[in-house]
Amino acid sequence: MTTEMFGSVPKFGLGTFRLKDQVVTDSVRMALELGYRVIDTAQGYGNEAEIGKVLTESGLPRDELFITTKIMPPNYGQDRLVASLQESVTKLGVDAVDLTLIHWPAPKGEVTPQEYLTALAEAKAQGLTRQIGVSNFTIEGLRQARAILGDVEIATNQVEIHPYLQNRALVDFALTADLHLTSYMTLAVGKVMDDPVIKDVAEAHGATAAQVALAWALAQGHSVIPSSTRRENLESNLHALDLTLTEEDMARIAQLDRGERLANPPHLAPDWD
Protein backbone atom coordinates (compact mmCIF):
# COMPACT_ATOMS: atom_id res chain seq x y z
CA MET A 1 0.00 0.00 0.00
CA THR A 2 1.35 3.45 -0.91
CA THR A 3 -0.86 5.76 1.10
CA GLU A 4 1.63 6.91 3.75
CA MET A 5 1.48 10.70 3.74
CA PHE A 6 3.61 13.80 3.86
CA GLY A 7 0.97 16.08 5.36
CA SER A 8 -2.08 15.65 3.15
CA VAL A 9 -0.21 14.24 0.13
CA PRO A 10 0.92 10.60 -0.24
CA LYS A 11 4.65 9.97 -0.25
CA PHE A 12 4.69 7.60 -3.20
CA GLY A 13 2.63 7.21 -6.34
CA LEU A 14 2.62 6.11 -9.96
CA GLY A 15 3.35 8.72 -12.61
CA THR A 16 1.76 8.29 -16.04
CA PHE A 17 3.45 10.98 -18.16
CA ARG A 18 4.00 9.80 -21.74
CA LEU A 19 2.05 6.58 -21.12
CA LYS A 20 -0.82 6.10 -23.57
CA ASP A 21 -3.38 3.55 -24.71
CA GLN A 22 -2.56 -0.08 -23.84
CA VAL A 23 0.77 0.96 -22.28
CA VAL A 24 -0.89 3.09 -19.59
CA THR A 25 -3.61 0.48 -19.10
CA ASP A 26 -1.04 -2.23 -18.42
CA SER A 27 1.15 -0.01 -16.22
CA VAL A 28 -1.71 1.11 -13.97
CA ARG A 29 -3.16 -2.39 -13.74
CA MET A 30 0.20 -3.88 -12.72
CA ALA A 31 0.81 -1.07 -10.24
CA LEU A 32 -2.55 -1.62 -8.55
CA GLU A 33 -1.86 -5.35 -8.32
CA LEU A 34 1.47 -4.56 -6.61
CA GLY A 35 -0.14 -2.29 -4.03
CA TYR A 36 0.08 1.16 -5.58
CA ARG A 37 -2.92 3.24 -4.64
CA VAL A 38 -1.77 6.70 -5.79
CA ILE A 39 -2.09 7.56 -9.49
CA ASP A 40 -0.87 10.83 -11.02
CA THR A 41 -2.22 11.92 -14.40
CA ALA A 42 -3.08 15.13 -16.26
CA GLN A 43 -5.49 16.38 -18.87
CA GLY A 44 -2.51 16.93 -21.16
CA TYR A 45 -1.37 13.31 -20.91
CA GLY A 46 -4.41 12.11 -22.84
CA ASN A 47 -4.83 9.00 -20.70
CA GLU A 48 -7.48 9.83 -18.09
CA ALA A 49 -10.15 7.64 -19.70
CA GLU A 50 -7.86 4.61 -19.88
CA ILE A 51 -6.85 5.08 -16.24
CA GLY A 52 -10.47 5.46 -15.22
CA LYS A 53 -11.37 2.18 -16.92
CA VAL A 54 -8.60 0.33 -15.06
CA LEU A 55 -9.60 1.88 -11.73
CA THR A 56 -13.22 0.84 -12.25
CA GLU A 57 -12.29 -2.68 -13.33
CA SER A 58 -9.98 -3.08 -10.33
CA GLY A 59 -12.95 -3.04 -7.97
CA LEU A 60 -10.85 -1.24 -5.36
CA PRO A 61 -12.81 0.91 -2.90
CA ARG A 62 -12.66 4.58 -3.83
CA ASP A 63 -11.40 5.55 -0.39
CA GLU A 64 -8.28 3.41 -0.90
CA LEU A 65 -7.24 5.42 -3.96
CA PHE A 66 -5.62 8.83 -4.30
CA ILE A 67 -6.00 10.33 -7.77
CA THR A 68 -4.25 13.48 -8.97
CA THR A 69 -4.89 15.25 -12.25
CA LYS A 70 -3.73 18.56 -13.68
CA ILE A 71 -5.53 21.27 -15.61
CA MET A 72 -3.92 21.99 -18.98
CA PRO A 73 -3.37 25.63 -20.07
CA PRO A 74 -6.13 25.76 -22.73
CA ASN A 75 -8.63 25.14 -19.90
CA TYR A 76 -7.43 27.89 -17.55
CA GLY A 77 -10.15 30.40 -18.39
CA GLN A 78 -12.84 31.10 -15.80
CA ASP A 79 -15.45 29.77 -18.23
CA ARG A 80 -13.54 26.55 -18.91
CA LEU A 81 -11.62 25.29 -15.88
CA VAL A 82 -14.46 23.87 -13.76
CA ALA A 83 -16.15 22.28 -16.78
CA SER A 84 -12.87 20.71 -17.89
CA LEU A 85 -12.30 19.22 -14.44
CA GLN A 86 -15.81 17.77 -14.52
CA GLU A 87 -14.85 16.09 -17.80
CA SER A 88 -11.68 14.71 -16.18
CA VAL A 89 -13.62 13.39 -13.20
CA THR A 90 -16.05 11.66 -15.57
CA LYS A 91 -13.21 10.11 -17.59
CA LEU A 92 -11.58 8.86 -14.41
CA GLY A 93 -14.83 7.25 -13.34
CA VAL A 94 -15.05 8.95 -9.95
CA ASP A 95 -17.23 11.56 -8.26
CA ALA A 96 -14.20 13.71 -7.41
CA VAL A 97 -10.43 13.56 -7.64
CA ASP A 98 -8.25 13.87 -4.55
CA LEU A 99 -5.91 16.56 -5.89
CA THR A 100 -6.02 18.91 -8.87
CA LEU A 101 -3.03 20.97 -9.95
CA ILE A 102 -2.49 23.88 -12.30
CA HIS A 103 -0.05 22.17 -14.67
CA TRP A 104 2.06 25.17 -15.68
CA PRO A 105 1.92 28.90 -14.92
CA ALA A 106 -0.16 30.43 -17.72
CA PRO A 107 2.03 30.96 -20.79
CA LYS A 108 2.58 34.57 -21.84
CA GLY A 109 0.06 35.80 -19.29
CA GLU A 110 -2.89 34.79 -21.49
CA VAL A 111 -4.91 34.02 -18.35
CA THR A 112 -4.02 35.68 -15.06
CA PRO A 113 -3.17 33.64 -11.96
CA GLN A 114 -6.05 35.43 -10.25
CA GLU A 115 -8.45 33.98 -12.81
CA TYR A 116 -7.26 30.38 -12.95
CA LEU A 117 -6.49 29.99 -9.25
CA THR A 118 -9.85 31.45 -8.29
CA ALA A 119 -11.51 29.02 -10.72
CA LEU A 120 -9.53 26.13 -9.23
CA ALA A 121 -10.67 27.11 -5.73
CA GLU A 122 -14.23 27.19 -7.06
CA ALA A 123 -13.81 23.63 -8.39
CA LYS A 124 -12.80 22.60 -4.87
CA ALA A 125 -15.77 24.43 -3.37
CA GLN A 126 -18.05 22.54 -5.78
CA GLY A 127 -16.62 19.21 -4.60
CA LEU A 128 -14.90 18.18 -7.83
CA THR A 129 -11.53 17.95 -6.08
CA ARG A 130 -10.69 17.46 -2.43
CA GLN A 131 -7.43 19.40 -2.57
CA ILE A 132 -5.76 21.82 -4.97
CA GLY A 133 -2.19 22.67 -5.81
CA VAL A 134 0.19 23.78 -8.53
CA SER A 135 2.98 22.41 -10.70
CA ASN A 136 6.11 24.04 -12.13
CA PHE A 137 5.63 27.18 -10.04
CA THR A 138 8.57 29.37 -9.08
CA ILE A 139 9.10 31.00 -5.69
CA GLU A 140 7.45 34.20 -6.87
CA GLY A 141 4.60 32.22 -8.42
CA LEU A 142 4.03 30.43 -5.13
CA ARG A 143 4.00 33.70 -3.18
CA GLN A 144 1.46 35.11 -5.62
CA ALA A 145 -0.66 31.94 -5.48
CA ARG A 146 -0.78 32.03 -1.70
CA ALA A 147 -1.84 35.67 -1.74
CA ILE A 148 -4.64 34.89 -4.20
CA LEU A 149 -5.89 31.73 -2.48
CA GLY A 150 -5.76 33.06 1.05
CA ASP A 151 -7.03 30.36 3.42
CA VAL A 152 -7.33 27.74 0.67
CA GLU A 153 -4.32 25.48 1.13
CA ILE A 154 -1.85 24.68 -1.66
CA ALA A 155 -1.39 20.95 -1.06
CA THR A 156 1.79 20.66 -3.15
CA ASN A 157 3.92 22.18 -5.88
CA GLN A 158 4.93 19.42 -8.30
CA VAL A 159 8.32 20.22 -9.83
CA GLU A 160 11.32 18.62 -11.46
CA ILE A 161 13.76 17.49 -8.77
CA HIS A 162 16.46 14.87 -9.27
CA PRO A 163 20.14 14.49 -8.35
CA TYR A 164 21.21 16.62 -11.33
CA LEU A 165 18.62 19.37 -10.71
CA GLN A 166 18.21 19.75 -6.96
CA ASN A 167 16.28 23.02 -7.18
CA ARG A 168 17.77 24.25 -3.92
CA ALA A 169 16.40 27.80 -3.90
CA LEU A 170 12.87 26.48 -4.34
CA VAL A 171 13.40 23.66 -1.83
CA ASP A 172 14.72 26.10 0.78
CA PHE A 173 11.77 28.44 0.20
CA ALA A 174 9.28 25.56 0.49
CA LEU A 175 10.81 24.50 3.79
CA THR A 176 10.57 27.97 5.30
CA ALA A 177 7.08 28.51 3.87
CA ASP A 178 5.81 25.09 5.06
CA LEU A 179 4.88 24.18 1.49
CA HIS A 180 5.09 20.59 0.29
CA LEU A 181 6.90 19.61 -2.92
CA THR A 182 6.34 16.62 -5.17
CA SER A 183 9.34 15.55 -7.23
CA TYR A 184 8.81 14.49 -10.81
CA MET A 185 11.49 13.01 -13.10
CA THR A 186 13.22 11.88 -9.89
CA LEU A 187 15.18 9.30 -11.91
CA ALA A 188 16.28 11.96 -14.45
CA VAL A 189 14.70 9.91 -17.26
CA GLY A 190 16.87 6.95 -16.32
CA LYS A 191 20.20 8.82 -16.15
CA VAL A 192 20.64 7.98 -12.46
CA MET A 193 20.90 4.28 -13.37
CA ASP A 194 24.37 4.83 -14.85
CA ASP A 195 25.72 7.32 -12.31
CA PRO A 196 28.86 5.98 -10.58
CA VAL A 197 28.12 7.71 -7.25
CA ILE A 198 24.52 6.53 -7.10
CA LYS A 199 25.51 3.02 -8.19
CA ASP A 200 28.14 2.96 -5.43
CA VAL A 201 25.61 4.06 -2.80
CA ALA A 202 23.17 1.48 -4.13
CA GLU A 203 25.75 -1.31 -3.89
CA ALA A 204 26.51 -0.38 -0.28
CA HIS A 205 22.83 -0.78 0.61
CA GLY A 206 22.08 -3.79 -1.58
CA ALA A 207 19.67 -1.55 -3.47
CA THR A 208 19.12 -0.33 -7.03
CA ALA A 209 20.16 3.07 -8.35
CA ALA A 210 16.50 3.94 -8.86
CA GLN A 211 15.71 3.09 -5.25
CA VAL A 212 18.56 5.33 -4.09
CA ALA A 213 17.38 8.32 -6.14
CA LEU A 214 13.82 7.89 -4.90
CA ALA A 215 14.95 7.44 -1.28
CA TRP A 216 17.09 10.58 -1.63
CA ALA A 217 14.01 12.63 -2.60
CA LEU A 218 11.84 11.02 0.07
CA ALA A 219 14.47 11.78 2.73
CA GLN A 220 14.04 15.48 1.94
CA GLY A 221 10.30 15.26 2.51
CA HIS A 222 9.34 15.27 -1.17
CA SER A 223 6.68 12.97 -2.56
CA VAL A 224 7.71 10.96 -5.63
CA ILE A 225 5.73 9.65 -8.61
CA PRO A 226 8.02 7.40 -10.69
CA SER A 227 6.60 5.63 -13.72
CA SER A 228 7.48 2.36 -15.35
CA THR A 229 6.01 -0.01 -17.90
CA ARG A 230 7.77 -3.07 -16.43
CA ARG A 231 6.32 -4.99 -13.52
CA GLU A 232 9.70 -5.74 -11.96
CA ASN A 233 10.63 -2.06 -11.93
CA LEU A 234 7.27 -1.01 -10.51
CA GLU A 235 7.76 -3.53 -7.71
CA SER A 236 11.40 -2.60 -7.13
CA ASN A 237 10.68 1.13 -6.94
CA LEU A 238 8.31 0.56 -4.02
CA HIS A 239 11.20 -0.64 -1.89
CA ALA A 240 12.62 2.90 -1.90
CA LEU A 241 10.14 3.49 0.93
CA ASP A 242 12.14 1.08 3.09
CA LEU A 243 15.60 2.44 2.21
CA THR A 244 17.31 4.82 4.64
CA LEU A 245 20.34 6.67 3.29
CA THR A 246 23.14 7.86 5.54
CA GLU A 247 24.19 11.49 5.95
CA GLU A 248 27.29 10.65 3.91
CA ASP A 249 25.12 9.18 1.14
CA MET A 250 23.01 12.34 1.06
CA ALA A 251 26.12 14.54 0.98
CA ARG A 252 27.60 12.59 -1.93
CA ILE A 253 24.39 12.86 -3.94
CA ALA A 254 24.16 16.59 -3.12
CA GLN A 255 27.41 17.06 -5.02
CA LEU A 256 25.83 15.73 -8.23
CA ASP A 257 23.73 18.87 -8.75
CA ARG A 258 24.55 20.47 -12.11
CA GLY A 259 21.39 22.41 -12.86
CA GLU A 260 20.38 19.99 -15.61
CA ARG A 261 16.74 20.74 -16.38
CA LEU A 262 14.98 18.12 -18.50
CA ALA A 263 11.44 19.56 -18.61
CA ASN A 264 11.69 23.05 -20.05
CA PRO A 265 9.14 23.59 -22.84
CA PRO A 266 9.79 27.04 -24.30
CA HIS A 267 6.09 27.87 -24.74
CA LEU A 268 5.22 26.96 -21.13
CA ALA A 269 8.26 27.29 -18.86
CA PRO A 270 8.46 30.24 -16.45
CA ASP A 271 11.64 32.11 -15.58
CA TRP A 272 13.02 29.43 -13.28
CA ASP A 273 14.61 30.20 -9.91
DSSP, residue by residue, 110-143:
SS-HHHHHHHHHHHHHTTSEEEEEEES--HHHHH
Q: Which is the catalytic residue, given 45, 76, 164, 184?
A: 45
Phi/psi of residue 106, nearest 5 degrees: -55, 125
Residue 110: pLDDT band (50, 70, 90) is confident
Top CATH class, 5-187+221-226? alpha beta
Model confidence at 1: pLDDT above 70 = no
In this prediction, residues 186-210 reach a mean pLDDT of 98
Let me know if 36 is a catalytic residue: no
* Closest residue by Cα to residue 73 from 96, 34, 42, 28: 42
The sign of the CA dihedral 132, 38, 210, 228 is negative
Model confidence at 269: pLDDT above 70 = yes
Residue-range domain boundaries for the chain: 5-187+221-226
Render pLDDT for 34-78 as a digit per residue (tens, 0 to 9).
999 999 999 999 999 999 999 999 999 999 999 999 999 999 999
What are the angstrom distances between the C-alpha of 159 and each of 104, 200, 264? 10, 27, 11
Please give the mean pLDDT across all residues of the chain. 97
